[in-house]
Structure 1
Amino acid sequence: MIKLHSLLTFLALFPFFVVTACGQSSSHNQKSNAMEQVSHKPNNPYYSHTDTSKLTISDAEWKKILPPDLYAVAREADTERAFTGTMWNDETKGTYYCAVCGYKLFKSNQKFTSSCGWPSFFEQDNKESITFKPDNSFGMQRTEANCGRCGSHLGHLFDDSPAPTGKRYCMNAISLDFIPDTSSENSKLNTEKIVLGGGCYWCVEAVYENLDGVIKVISGFSGGTVANPSYEEVCTGTTGAAEVVEITYDKTKTNLDEIFKVFFTVHDPTTLNRQGADVGTQYRSVIFYRNEQQKKAAESIINELNNKNVYNSPIVTTLESFKAFYPAEDYHQNYFNNNKEKPYCKMVIQPKIEKFEKIFKDRLKKK
């Protein structure tokens, strides 16, 4: 039972915690850009929804570019008043970006309405989107949250949200730009491709076709020295190409972490140039990354799996810069669904699908 003295003390201090919980101070009553649909800013040459390269820009330069109220929060760690605008309790479906540099931070399905009066999220978009550092200002020990691309102040991270993470990303609305799902730009931004090789592409294709969020899977070839090689040429092992699948997925329904978790679940990444009876460089375990985000995400999960000794041997999956993808002949596409009665499909592909369906049963497409 809470003692009466403690309860009265808490109630007396409660308004102070509400005002300062998220930001450094409340001396500015900034006008929020809540729910503003922003895809480009002509006066800000660093703003981009697609560029993920790190920015090292001086505060003096940012001060010339940013509106005064945004600069105060983003570069001086000021805060806006609680319950500013409508972003804190708006449930519109869409994506939230850094208002300074345009970096993707959150999706609407990671947001919840909290009583603090600031936009609150229980999870960030990816491991790189937000960085953290200790904040001991105002006699409190807190964790400051900053944009992973430009380092601008966003708000704070607290351990008091509901499931599934228990985290509350308490953000200043002025630090966020919002693009609703209905916009054509957001639809384009929410689609991404990744090329993976995990042995025979018939197996990998059959698995990913059942993952919720995957839009399209195409079997084909990447890497090597021969443009648009045939299946027969690749089978010789002399082209340097690997059997791969090109996966197009909706980033609002799945993400790189999940794509890679499936990848490392349904094939053996510890056998060099081999998957079962399929032997040769064309069957190597490989990730063809298109940008630094994909490369870092791949490095991260490989390091994590190795450090935790998930496999008895080290992972030999190679990370190769994507150059080109060449679709395989038509009869290779959707091979499992078209040839379920063939021995290879029954003995090799079907067990992989069953393993995937057992482990990722909550992530299967609804049929």
Structure 2
Amino acid sequence: MTSYCKTEDAVAALTPEQYRVTQENATERPGSGALLHTKDAGIYVDIVSGEPLFASADKYESGCGWPSFTRPIEPANVKAKRDWSMLIPRTEVRSAHGDSHLGHLFKDGPRSRGGLRYCINSAALRFVPRGEMVAQGYAAYLDQVEQVPARTERAVLAGGCFWGMQDLIRALPGVVSTRVGYSGGDIANATYRRHGNHAEAIEIVFDPARTDFRTLLEFFFQIHDPTTVNRQGNDRGVSYRSAIFYTDDDQKAVAQDTIADVEASGLWPGKVVTELSPVGDFWEAEPEHQDYLERKPNGYTCHFVRPNWKLPRRAEAA
């Protein structure tokens, strides 16, 4: 068994910021951490001792400004203690062997994943990519880290408020990652407050060995109404239009074919008005909009699966 410990050499090798955080219980500025937006598969270990702390599979966008995890990869390596340094008591988390200050634990994480949020300083962590875990002695944790697909493909769809779209699509088999943003318009560096004629959109990275573009589109047409112009639920305006932004001619052909099947089925309430355009710039939305309903399960959504809006399998329809 690997032995993890705090050594003088390891502490001496810390940068001033890493020392301030891990040894003096400081907190890095929100949004400044180098690992905040890391989405690669791997594990996060203590910067001092090297003990494994968290896995990429348990990392999520909390919008708080620090890397957030739903659970430790090795619970025995993460200690919780009461922190009275502020006016209200908080729960500090420290590494068991390195005794590094890591961050704090809160009970406002995704309910579906246990309800906890480990709010951790990037400066307290070192990231080990999945491909380097064996060489660095972390092979025992490979089963807790997601496999990296040999190849991925990308889809960009718009169908109303991106909160609800992301909440349903991210759970589909074969979906590797999702992020919400603004696409289809002509304003650069779009934001929630200033996105012009962009649509609220979702970027989907998927594993073509486990799913395909057609399957994603069939589900897309189930969870939003493609027959209403610039509207979904209570949301009105071009931001909420239905659109498929294809990445190549193959996706364009699949989209045209799927739209034709939807219209021919007679299951939807009218003619499909979904815009079909080549993909352009995708401007990632602010952190508070990412995985919104995972963090706020009672938040607003107008998206749901309509069981009657399901295309028959092609073999059945033949």
State the TM-score, normalizing by the size of structure 1. 0.42
Answer with 1 or 2: which has the greater Rg: 1
Higher relative contact order (CA 8 A, sep 6+): 2
The structure with the largest helix share of the pair is 1
TM-score normalised over the length of structure 2: 0.49
